[in-house]
């Protein structure tokens, strides 16, 4: 199979971006309730804000679909990675970053999207089988434990994603995987900056 060139890599990144840009939470709120989710709560189109508006079931549905977006982009890119023999891990890492950027900054909503937590989990689950399966499950356990302890989804999300690059590093993962885990954790923290301010002021909404 012929190796992929720079043009092909950019195409796969673009494909991943558009997969990630499907605004699941926005569509669920608009189609079911006739509400623009961006005018509710935190203004995010993510699962946590959908849960505030539509209940736990819809919040879970949106989270699962957002995770599936990341998984789909990675599985498609991994198939293409067989034609990128010099550094398939680099292609996969770039795709992982692109799909989360698509979720956070969807072109359809004037680049105002979610915070990328569920999509990051779904994406990173498949970057480095079978090691990444264990890493994401461990981070999920950290998220659940912190959420139950503090009742703050935002804090649990940020800290669980911050732990992810450390786990990749400890397992001696290829550098592109550790780097993209760190980049996605930093991006999520940046997207949570309003939550951070509310946490500091003691005004963050608890579950």
pLDDT in tens, 77-113: 887 765 444 557 888 999 999 999 999 999 999 998 9
The predicted pLDDT at position 108 comes to: 92
The predicted pLDDT at position 87 comes to: 56
| Inside any domain, residue 207 | no
| Inside any domain, residue 1 | no
What is d(CA 151, CA 164) in angstroms, rounded to the nearest whole number? Answer: 21
**DSSP classification of residue 4:** P
Specify the DSSP element, H or E, that contains 58: helix 56-81
| Inside any domain, residue 206 | no
What is d(CA 207, CA 204) in angstroms, rounded to the nearest whole number? Answer: 10
The predicted pLDDT at position 82 comes to: 58
Mind listing the pLDDT tens digit for each residue in 136-194?
Answer: 999 999 999 999 999 999 999 999 999 999 999 999 999 999 999 999 999 999 999 99
| Inside any domain, residue 141 | yes
CB half-sphere exposure, 102, CA atoms < 13 A: 26
| Inside any domain, residue 157 | yes
Distance of CA 105 to the CA centre of its chain: 12
- What percent of the chain is predicted at pLDDT more than 70? 94
Distance of CA 182 to the CA centre of its chain: 12
| Inside any domain, residue 113 | yes
Q: Give the count of domains, the chain.
A: 1
| Inside any domain, residue 194 | yes
Indicate whether this model's pTM tops 0.85. yes
| Inside any domain, residue 12 | yes
- State whether residue 171 is helix, strand or coil: coil
């Amino acid at each position: 199979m012929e190796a992929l060139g720079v043009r092909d890599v950019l195409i796969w990144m673009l494909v991943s971006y558009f997969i990630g840009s499907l605004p699941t939470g926005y569509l669920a709120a608009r189609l079911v309730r006739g509400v623009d989710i961006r005018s509710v709560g935190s203004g995010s189109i993510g699962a946590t804000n959908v849960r505030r508006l539509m209940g736990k079931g819809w919040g879970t549905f949106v989270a699962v679909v957002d995770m599936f977006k990341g998984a789909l982009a990675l599985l498609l890119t991994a198939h293409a990675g067989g034609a990128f023999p010099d550094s398939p891990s680099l292609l996969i890492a770039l795709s992982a970053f692109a799909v989360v950027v698509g979720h956070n900054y969807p072109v359809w909503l004037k680049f105002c999207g979610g915070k990328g937590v569920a999509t990051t989990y779904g994406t990173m689950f498949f970057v480095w089988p079978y090691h990444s399966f264990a890493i994401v499950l461990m981070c999920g356990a950290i998220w659940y434990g912190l959420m139950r302890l503090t009742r703050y989804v935002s804090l649990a999300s940020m800290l669980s994603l911050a732990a992810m690059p450390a786990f990749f590093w400890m397992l001696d993962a290829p550098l592109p995987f550790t780097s993209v885990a760190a980049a996605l954790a930093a991006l999520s923290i940046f997207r949570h900056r309003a939550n951070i301010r509310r946490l500091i002021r003691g005004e963050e909404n608890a579950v």
